[in-house]
Amino acid sequence: MSTTTTTTTIYVAISPPLPPPSSTTGPTAAATSPDASAPLPQPPPRLEKITFTNDCTPAELRGALLAAAEISDSDAEGVVLRLTAGDEGSTVVLTVGPGLPGNTEAGAYKLEVLQNKLVAYEALGGAAERLLATTAGVETREIEELRRAVEQLKTKLGRSGTHSGNAPARRRTLKAARANARYLTSPKYVLTPETAAYLREPSFDNWQFDGGEILCLLEHMFHDMGLVKAFGIEIPTLRRFLGAIKDCYNENPFHNFRHCFCVTQMMYGILHTTGIVEKLRDIDKLILILSCIGHDLDHPGFNNAYQINAMTDLAIIYNDASPLENHHAAVLFTILFKPAFNILSSLPDATYREVRRSVIRCILATDMARHGEIMNAFKKASEAFSYDDAEHRLLLLQVVVKCADISNETKSQRQFFPTTPVRPTDVSEPWVELLLAEFFHQSDTEKSEGLPYAPFMDREKVTKAGAQIGFIQYVMVPLYDLAAKVIPGMEEAIIRPIRESLAYYKAMQDKEAAVAAGGK
């Protein structure tokens, strides 16, 4: 279906950026402003004209607004744009996107450039550190107070980080990809044959690659599985789509874009290691990669139990029925609904409906509340499995996605099993720590809010070894054993390392128990 391209023109009155936080007392402030009680004069707003088409992305329009505000890409990270319409007292905050209505010079929108507080604090902290460096060896009461203030600021910045131990967002506003124009027509990275071959291995080390390189690896999977050619996917559209996917993952310790990549890569590795990639149809492979890429989109860092007990918006919207998984699928198809991101635009209606229905079912299958249901259905299908049976085939896709979703436990112990081709300890072990950090944060929040909390998330009761033993023994091994009834080659390549991992954690638990008892 073709869409008519239309053009919209808007006028924007741009206010200057707000200054970063600074002290209002002391020598520096006095030197900056002779009259500390009087506000500094602000230049009048500047009027700019911006023209855009209806198929542009929100990120592209944001880029135009940043350019109009004379903010470079290198300075844009710490900037928040606030676009409003109306007079004072009846101001409406506008959403930056292609649906923004045109206006006139007389009715120009107001654009405020707000400095991101964290970036400003970091700049202030850096300036304070440099000031302290110049006073080394000097001891006065004022300098000692400054040292204490810097330490407090560093502590505050530490709490504001995005690594393990931070507070995962409960809800993130969706963002759209801001793709570099050159990247849309020519590759930013080129894979070596060695990397391309390594990408097919379940032992692939995700920590060696940054976010931009991961986008390139995901794009390669579409090419390697023949999906670009089979479904007529335009490369610029694919790159915009993958960028939008990346931007719609939150910076949680565990449920983030890197986890999305790991799940997708393990699916890809399972297909090639076992050879079932040759038995699947092109549409099956498309369903798998879309399901893995989208399976945790906009994850808030709190599980379904929290959503339901806290009566969050997601629980209300989805009537307590797999609220997160329903949301992940909805976000994925919201992205695909945009023409700029729609890699499925060439699919016939019947094919699109099959893809959509199957992807939704695969994502919903990742809800552990449905684990027993999926296991029982696949067990029955495995007794007389047929690739020609549509329901059997869809159950297989669901099981592959489930296996990939929990795959960071499928690791080898290199020092004992150097030839095992599954995620080595140095690749998988950080993921265990990150998952526990996210779990502990949720249980801490649930305790503070008076909500029920799960024992396996309680930092006062859980050990890494204990958590892993139960999960591997009662969830992973049965799931992978069942998958192996249909998927050839699972035992040696994947299941044996899982059993080795179980033995590893049991040995760790025994050692912890011995230490606790005063042994050696």
Q: Which of 255, 295, 328, 392 is catalytic?
A: 255
CA dihedral over 360, 250, 63, 114, signed as positive or negative: positive
Q: Using CA atoms, how far apart are residues 356 and 86, in angstroms rounded to an integer? A: 41
Q: Are 455 and 462 in contact (CB under 8 A)?
A: yes
In terms of Cα–Cα distance, which of 153, 293, 279 is closest to 221? 293
CA-CA distance, 79 to 17, in Å (whole number)?
A: 9
Residue 93 phi, psi dihedral angles, 5° rounding = -80, 125
327 classed as catalytic: no
C-alpha dist (Å) from residue 74 to 71, 119, 318 = 8, 13, 40
List CB contacts of 52: < 8 A, sequence separation 6 or more. 7, 8, 10, 60, 61, 64, 98
419 backbone dihedrals φ, ψ, rounded to 5° = -100, 0
Whole-angstrom Cα Rg for the chain? 26
Q: How far apart are CA 187 and CA 182, in angstroms?
A: 8
Q: What is the dihedral of CA 338, 341, 345, 346, to 10 degrees?
A: 170
Note the helical H segments in 255-348.
Answer: 257-274, 282-294, 304-309, 313-317, 323-337
Give CA–CA dist 255/261, Å, rounded.
11
CB of 335 closer than 8 Å to CB of 243: no
Positions marked catalytic? 255
